[in-house]
Amino acid sequence: MTSADDLISLVRAYNPTTNEQMLRDAFAFGADMHSTQFRHSGEPYFTHPIAVAIILAQQQMDDDTLVTALLHDTVEDTKASYSDIERLFSREIAELVDGVTKLTNLQLSSTETKQAENFRKLFMATSRDLRVTLVKLADRLHNMRTIKAMRPDKQVQKARETMDIYAPLAGRMGMQWMREELEDLAFRVLNPEARNSIMRRFITLQKDTGDVIDKIATDMRAELDKANITAEVMGRAKKPHSIWRKMQEKDIGFSRLSDIYGFRVLTSSEADCYRVLGAIHQRWSAVPGRFKDYISQPKSNGYRSIHTTVSGRDGKRVEVQIRTREMHEVAEAGVAAHWSYRDGQRVENRFAVDPVRWISALSERLDDDHEHDEFLEAVKLEMYSDQVFCFSPKGEVIKLPRGATPIDFAYAIHTRIGHATLGARVDGRRVPLWTRLKNGQSIEIITAEGQTPQSTWIDIAVTGRAKSAIRKFLREENREKFIRLGRELARVAFENAGKRATDKALSTAARALNITDVSEMLTLLGSAEITAQSVVRAIYPDLSARTGDEVEATHAVVGIEGNQGHQLAHCCRPVPGERIVGITYRGKGVSVHAIDCEALADFEEQPDRWVDLQWHEGTHGAVNTVTFDLAITNDAGVLGRICTLIGEQKANISDLRFIDRKPDYFRLLIDVDLSNLTHLHQVQTALEAESNVSALSRHRDPALVSQAFARSEK
């Protein structure tokens, strides 16, 4: 096991003025607290905190962070308390240990709703002191390096969590080396066959072509020498997970994959970076569309570098990153550059940008009243997306995720601008709002007084900020409309159940559904987030006891042999008066379809299963459910008139659900209980005559076939 002297020697190499006694005290305290504990591998548990401290020392972190690493599990796993840490060391270290403990207790691999809340807590903790996250990332890195000692199911859980959360977070913090290692360690667990396949391909490729990396690096050094440029050239093959991701994104095999080799050229000045670029482009052909200048347009985490891809030796594509050594320090250390020491002094790197500002801005922007899924959506977009850099008419640079639109650009400037967006000009030319923006474009947002967000914008926007602002506006703007619509839906549903939707009944239903008040319940009902049937069931559960299968069992058909059971197919829902045919299911019965049902095409090669059927005369008074697909204008009272119109035809609405909402129309599915084909035509005719119905069709779903029988065959 690494000793305190070994750790102190490592720290003293970059920080001669380190508080050696504090490190020794932390080492002794941690060793004592964990003295009776062991890891899954059988090693003493304290080897883990030591390893975490060493990872951070290699990043040249400050003393407080290293002490936190040595003590990060004491409060959670031993008898040590927050007050003990504060008394023996300092309040700052106690706060850091407490922060790491809270992050450790987050179950980040749970359900989406829980995960969104955990993301919120993670970023709130990070915004208070970034070193909490640095210790947690180092903790996860060592755990992934030693993951083989865990149970297989735990390995998969931790690997998935690492791939989804910790690796992208490390990348966002600018610690690209850590991101790549975390991804590769997780990839080794989640898809070992794919990783091994890539490694075998590399070995074969090396046998066939020799050491390509060394040859290309030698060629580059020769070109730089000709141009009288002093620079360091380093090359490497890309990580297996990075290659696998490219193969999946481009849907190509390994043999067709290009640029699997990456090279870095380090110079002493910014001017030399551009001289290197010129020398490389003069010698090799640049690949169009693969040039990025992050020196003139740095990433938000301070990353600066020139990226280009060229066709190198034997036509092989290679990616080249060009930057100064000062830029390279930030590219390698990321956020840790803010805390790193050299010769006993904090290192001042002019290119280092504190990413805590990004996290704080995110936490403030996504305040507590946002829905969990919206928060999670925004966080993932912020963490995973590549960026494009666009310019405002005044020359201000706006950074957006790749695939962003003018709507995202408008909301990035200000919510007020976003809400009032009427159109956009890109490089002086008018474009649709759904246009995908590209690097370097100049964007002008056209606004108009009285303009408000449209519901279609949610599908157009990409950034979490824009989507959240649009949803919030629409919820507030349409609240009264949703309440009126919800009240009408509730009235119809209660009347169909033989009850009245009184204020007391609605209040009771809201309480039963754990909804704060009646207005909120009606809003949810009007926005189709809950169904009218669920509101009725909350008070009268027995009214919905009869299932669709029991209803269908009352229908009598002629042509079924013996005691075979039958069921009306859910895909077409035939009604008496329509020509019908049966499909037999061995040992189960017969599924009854309308003769024009699309699902019958699946049985064309099985003629022995077909049965010719017809309705029994006495079934024409039975209850049959048909689903209508309607598009109606989005005007006040329209849905109420539709419901009344159906009732006037002596038919009942058993369910209603919205499938699309636009500023000018709603599209919805309505389940209507009626008696036969003639009754169906009467309802259709009445609806088609209504001027506010712009489209009407009978909804059928071939994928449903006969649910009960199809399930039983599997």
Instruction: Between 162 and 260, name the one with better pLDDT.
Output: 162
Tell me which amino acid residue 703 is. A
Q: Which residue has the tokens 């000793």?
A: 3
What is the per-residue pLDDT across 27-63, written as a single tens digit (0 to 9) for each? 999 999 999 999 888 899 999 999 999 999 988 888 9
Cα distance between residue 441 and residue 434, in whole Å: 15
Per-residue pLDDT at 380 exceeds 60: no
Residue pair 369/311 in contact (Cβ under 8 Å)? The answer is no
Q: Which residue has the tokens 């482009």?
A: 281
Q: What is the mean pLDDT of residues 107-121?
A: 51
267 bridge partner residues: 324
Inter-helix orientation angle 176-190/152-161, to 10°: 140
**pLDDT band, residue 76 (cuts 50/70/90):** confident
Cα distance between residue 238 and residue 235, in whole Å: 10
Q: Phi-psi category of 159—alpha, beta or left, where left has phi over 0 and alpha has psi -120 to 50?
A: alpha
Inter-helix orientation angle 130-145/91-104, to 10°: 50
Residue pair 496/544 in contact (Cβ under 8 Å)? The answer is no
Cα distance between residue 118 and residue 96, in whole Å: 18
Per-residue pLDDT at 267 exceeds 90: yes
What is the per-residue pLDDT across 281-333, written as a single tens digit (0 to 9) for each? 999 888 877 788 888 888 766 788 999 988 866 667 788 999 998 888 888 77
Q: b/e for 49-84, b at 16 or more Cβ within 10 A? A: bbbbbbbbbebbbbbbbbbbbbbbbbbeebebeeeb
For residue 569, which phi and psi values (nearest 5 degrees)? -65, 135
The set of catalytic residues is: 76-77
CA-based torsion, 98, 99, 104, 109: positive or negative: positive
Mind listing the domains of the chain with CATH numbers?
4-190 (1.10.3210.10), 194-346 (3.30.460.10), 472-544 (no CATH), 546-714 (3.30.70.260)
Pairing between β-strand 693-698 and β-strand 665-674 as defined by DSSP bridges: unpaired
The burial of 307, by beta-carbon neighbours within 10 Å (0-12 exposed, 13-18 middle, 19 or more buried), is given as middle
pLDDT at 545: 38
Per-residue pLDDT at 235 exceeds 90: no
pLDDT at 663: 65
**pLDDT band, residue 108 (cuts 50/70/90):** low
- Of 112-116, 242-246, 430-434, give the lowest mean pLDDT range: 112-116
On the CB side of 101, how many CA atoms lie within 13 Å of its CA? 20
Rg (CA), the chain: 33
Q: b/e for 278-290, b at 16 or more Cβ within 10 A? A: ebbeebbeebeee
pLDDT at 712: 45
- The three-class DSSP label of residue 399 is strand
pLDDT at 257: 56
What is the per-residue pLDDT across 631-687, written as a single tens digit (0 to 9) for each? 888 777 788 888 888 888 888 887 777 777 776 678 888 888 888 888 898 898 888
On the CB side of 306, how many CA atoms lie within 13 Å of its CA? 21
- The three-class DSSP label of residue 441 is coil
Of 115, 711, 117, 102, residue with least CA distance to 368: 117
Cβ of 691: how many Cβ atoms within 10 Å? 8
